[in-house]
Amino acid sequence: METTLRGVGVSHGVAIGEVRHMGTAVLEPPAKQIPAEEAEREQGRARQAVEAVAADLTARGNLAGGEAQHVLEAQAMMAQDPELMADVERRIAVGSTAERGVYDAFASYRALLANAGEYLAGRVADLDDVRNRIVARLLGVPMPGVPDSDEPYVLIARDLAPADTALLDPALVLGFVTEEGGPTSHSAILARALGVPAVVALPGAGELAEGTVIAVDGSTGEIFVEPSAGKRAEMESAAAARKAALSASSGPGATSDGHKVPLLANVGGPGDVPAAVEAGAEGVGLFRTEFLFLDDSKRAPSEEKQIAAYRAVLEAFPEGRVVVRVLDAGADKPLDFLTPADEPNPALGVRGLRSLLDHPDVLRTQLTALSKAAQGLPVHLEVMAPMVADRADARAFADACREAGLQAKFGAMVEIPSAALRARSILREVEFLSLGTNDLAQYTFAADRQVGAVSRLQDPWQPALLDLVALSAEAAGAEGKSCGVCGEAASDPLLACVLTGLGVTSLSMGAASIPYVRATLAKYTLAQCERAASAARAADSAEEARVAAQAVLSGE
């Protein structure tokens, strides 16, 4: 009998096939004591296992390339973390075996990550995978992984490690479903990069029996267990129509009546650029620069290192628009040299632009590096500040840009309700706005992005959030300036139409979402988008807003 489950869709597409489960995780090694004279030998075993696993992860990354390579290289660095290794050796020195020392040291570090904010908590699955690989090597047992199968299947797992996700064969793995994870987990990011339909955060996914036929909708997050012939035909037809629309869609983003909506890419570094170019991105709407700073939380990267990374991205979009967000540190991305360690509520403390204004040398170096990176290039560089609260913040950032000699447009991110409410005032200091819908939802609804119990308030379809988007877009229109969206909301094709109807002038998203958004926008006129936006704002809940917008666009 057909039943429906709902998780979080993180990668567009439809997959229909039999369930196959990921191999069992490595068992916890026994806690037995070793004689003191064996400690040095056990420490050597641990070091050898760590180096072997790091080398394997690096090799897998080289094979996968692109975004996956960066993720796996980060995992290799995690395996070789000197503080972690020192903890392992301390535990062995007081009597642990190599495998138990690794297991316990990683458990301690895991607890720190899980409580350190969304970005770092999203790396817990990566850490678990590194631990499992090292322990498996020490125990001499096979590493759990993707099951062997000659027939295509839908993969079910508690969570997927990047090393497994990166090398999935899309010809065999039709899609995957996990019990844990979220839109910002590495598995979700890599699924989008691979173009594999994926649903995460589905409680009880592991209870689906091996061989059960399921249909996965990576857009809606719906899972249909033992789908009827009619449901399968409906989903296959919709998938075929979507694929045809994607193939036929190319060129700049626009509505069916020619209203231009530039479709830009969110990138985290040079490794994301090839996928963005292939997807037809018209530029970069959000260049997250944190990747340069998170490699070493003790000190900022040199100006030279920053110049090289920025130029690699800028060169990829000649004549295009590249919007760079200066360092957004604090809250879920703490940096020892920049952010306070003892804040009672870091999300409401010194983060984003506030951190940079407290450390003007870090901001000055970054702005100078951006200026030098853009020299001689025909790119249209724009630089924006995160967590702008009011006109004073906007003025301070614009002044810093001018003092650094930056020849670029200066902008402000709208992530705090006050910035949306006073957008026109802020626009007297800067030249554009960019809406970060993830944080804007968090602060609008007092709903922590890490707390699952309030996840419904993180839905970007919430009418109150749409009201703030509308206020920002209207203010930008009145000032003759642009207002884009670079949060996750832009990657939802239906919501992209609503955002266009609200007056948003550009949409930025992960590269894999660009074809879907382009094809959907091209089906509707600007007037239809505006009517859908009005219907969504008139609703009282996120689900009602989604249904109302869909009804308008479907002509119902």
Return d(Cα 11, Cα 191) in angstroms, integer. 6
| Cα dihedral 34/35/40/42 (nearest 10) | -20
pLDDT of the residue at 330: 74
Summarize pLDDT for 127-174 with one digit per residue, the tens. Answer: 888 888 899 888 877 666 777 677 899 999 887 776 676 667 778 889
Looking up tokens 């809406």 gives 435
Token pair, residue 425, equals 């005032």
Token pair, residue 392, equals 């004073």
Mean of the per-residue pLDDT values of the chain: 87
Token pair, residue 131, equals 């631990």
* Residues paired with residue 224 on neighbouring β-strands, in sequence order: 4, 215
Annotation marks residue 497 as catalytic: no
pLDDT of the residue at 144: 64
In this structure, the strands spanning 8-11 and 198-200 are: antiparallel
Return d(Cα 376, Cα 365) in angstroms, integer. 19
Return d(Cα 278, Cα 515) in angstroms, integer. 10
- What's the whole-model pTM score? 0.69
Of residues 143 and 276, the one with the higher pLDDT is 276
pLDDT of the residue at 258: 96
Of residues 184 and 441, the one with the higher pLDDT is 441
Return d(Cα 92, Cα 40) in angstroms, integer. 8
Q: Using 50, 70 and 90 to split pLDDT, how confident is the model at 32?
A: confident
pLDDT of the residue at 184: 56
Sign of CA dihedral 284, 288, 292, 295: negative
Question: Most confidently modeled of 98-102, 293-297, 395-399, 441-445?
Answer: 395-399
User: Among residues 219, 178, 267, 173, which one has the least CA distance to residue 10?
Assistant: 219
In this structure, the strands spanning 3-6 and 222-225 are: antiparallel
Name the active-site residue from 401, 483, 486, 497. Answer: 486
pLDDT of the residue at 118: 52
Q: Using 50, 70 and 90 to split pLDDT, how confident is the model at 225?
A: very high
pLDDT above 70: residue 322: yes
Average pLDDT value for residue range 42-55: 91
User: Among residues 432, 423, 510, 427, which one has the least CA distance to residue 467?
Assistant: 423
Phi-psi region of 319 (alpha: psi -120 to 50; beta: other; left: phi over 0): left
pLDDT above 70: residue 186: no
Q: Using 50, 70 and 90 to split pLDDT, how confident is the model at 391?
A: very high
Sign of CA dihedral 210, 211, 215, 217: positive
Average pLDDT value for residue range 283-306: 85
Name the active-site residue from 12, 70, 186, 359. Answer: 186
pLDDT above 80: residue 125: no
Return d(Cα 150, Cα 382) in angstroms, integer. 49
Annotation marks residue 401 as catalytic: no
pLDDT of the residue at 360: 95
**Percent of the chain with pLDDT strictly greater than 90:** 52
pLDDT of the residue at 187: 67
Helix (H) or strand (E) holding 18: strand 14-21
Summarize pLDDT for 60-91 with one digit per residue, the tens. Answer: 777 666 666 777 777 888 888 888 899 999 99
Return d(Cα 489, Cα 473) in angstroms, integer. 15
Give the relative orientation of helices 124-139 and 39-64 as an angle to the nearest 10 degrees.
120
pLDDT above 80: residue 550: yes
pLDDT of the residue at 137: 84
The DSSP annotation for 381-409 comes to: EEEEESS--SHHHHHHHHHHHHHTT--SE
